[in-house]
Structure 1
């Protein structure tokens, strides 16, 4: 395993009365950041590990699927949940339920999702265009959570596209509403996950507000996170796709922000041990059959760049028991070195920029109104 020297130690992250030793947040990702994965990442290093995003309407109405997502590992000392909603009353009530009934310590509100089925109803990254609605939602959430001493933050993007930017207004509104911080993904909705994240926009937002700003976008290695904080003045970073198949990234991040040497390039033997631990935790929370099925999606991310052949990859992608997994992992060469070509490379979805963001009719005509539609009907979270 090779090492590289990190810069001087960075301070931790403070969001209201919540203190996080390492200024790193795991972004919610649908089907990824369940209790098992959050524990796996937390075992690597300190940070704030956020539950998969849930809808406020689903929570208020007691939807079984929504409630099943609100599962926490016994080792989770800080319960963090990302909440999605477009109706201020629903969001406020949902925030109260999270605090009073689920012991949540931190609530993050999602206004960054670029998925067309969400933006076409005015939700996700489209919603901050309606300044009045954004303010009302944040005010309701903060009012409910503050009664329990729980900090509220929000996640957003630069804007709908380069001609309709919202992040500076969103930062001002978040601060005025009493939010404890704001995370900015340095891309527009139109960019989705394509191109490069605009770290200059993050720096501009830092200078624009007095609450902590977290930077998100293009953090593939620990050095990227440190560089982002140094360049932008952000209080911390949000990591999404960069940790797919690489939960040890949080170990590197903790070391880098502590001013210690950063361990990198695990051997395939170390990677397969991490794969086994991941599957074990999934099975513990979901049962062996479902846990193994959930694990399958992670195989290609873990083995990205390694020489493992197609037969091994296909077999691992069909694993149904831990015993089968053990047998298949044993066939992987434990001494194979980590593929350095995979370092610093994008992971997960990228895609192409969109020529047009799908929005409700007339959405851009009024930036101060409340909007219309019901974007909570169908939602997926993606790390924003």
Structure 2
């Protein structure tokens, strides 16, 4: 059999990623099948699969009431890879651990992890506990547990502290195996799918114990509504080399926003954005714009930003701050932009919902983006701005 170099196998994996971009489960199945070709393929396939071990596998239509096919096997493999001290601690806590061979694990699985969806990992841990420790295989019962957030109603000798213990030990395993995470996703999903805990992220920065896991972070997706304030401020001090930042807030969940709340969210964003050295892509979703802080944060990245995206942003509040320079003026300074997206935002400019005509016209007349190749405008945006965008999309 012909021996293929690792870089050629990597190109094959990249091609398959494009082919199965809409079906990650099928992609993993196809690539996993290559582990059986020979030793060379196995040595390339396993690190690839473990680069991003946790991803959503919940089917869109689950009518059979069986427990979803999550990443329980990933958790099981990590547990088998733990050292004897860690396994003993879990056994004493009442966990039924999977058996492992005499020689232990063949691969150093934890060291391969580069992309971590924290809530998917958290969810997979819960699924493993429900099925392997509590023997729950019915999806409806699982949903009831997540709503109750109390596993002690199901089994008296097990409590939520043990879930925290298992998460901490897995994180400690990542630390001991020199896991270097460059992509971190901290966005919880539907409430009936996940337990949400405002403080569950603190492990990454608490007493700086796990900061080595994220200090080389390049990509961050974060829901600021479900993060402890101190966590986000600490994270901005640890991670200063982000290339991509997607900060998200679901404005549907917040029915009453005080000026204090708006300023608090802006302070968090300002800290995250301004602390970066060369941020290339910034995506903000669901915020009410606090011009004093948020425009200021973008100004710190005007030389490096290539992609700028605003989704469902309320710019109207800047009218009340009597700011002469509006957000459009700030965008105008980002001369290295290659992609600009403004979707379903309102209050651009200093005037009403559609924005001030003079301000928008000044932006259109004075804008100079030599590298800009695409502009997407959707929703409640002024006609002048929409027509300007069309000139970039031919």
Please state which structure has a larger fraction of its residues in helix: 2
Report the structure number with the largest CA radius of gyration.
Answer: 2
**TM, length-normalised to structure 2:** 0.28
**TM, length-normalised to structure 1:** 0.29
Please state which structure has a larger fraction of its residues in strand: 1
Q: Considering Cα pairs closer than 8 Å and 6+ residues apart, tell me whether 1 or 2 has the greater RCO.
A: 1
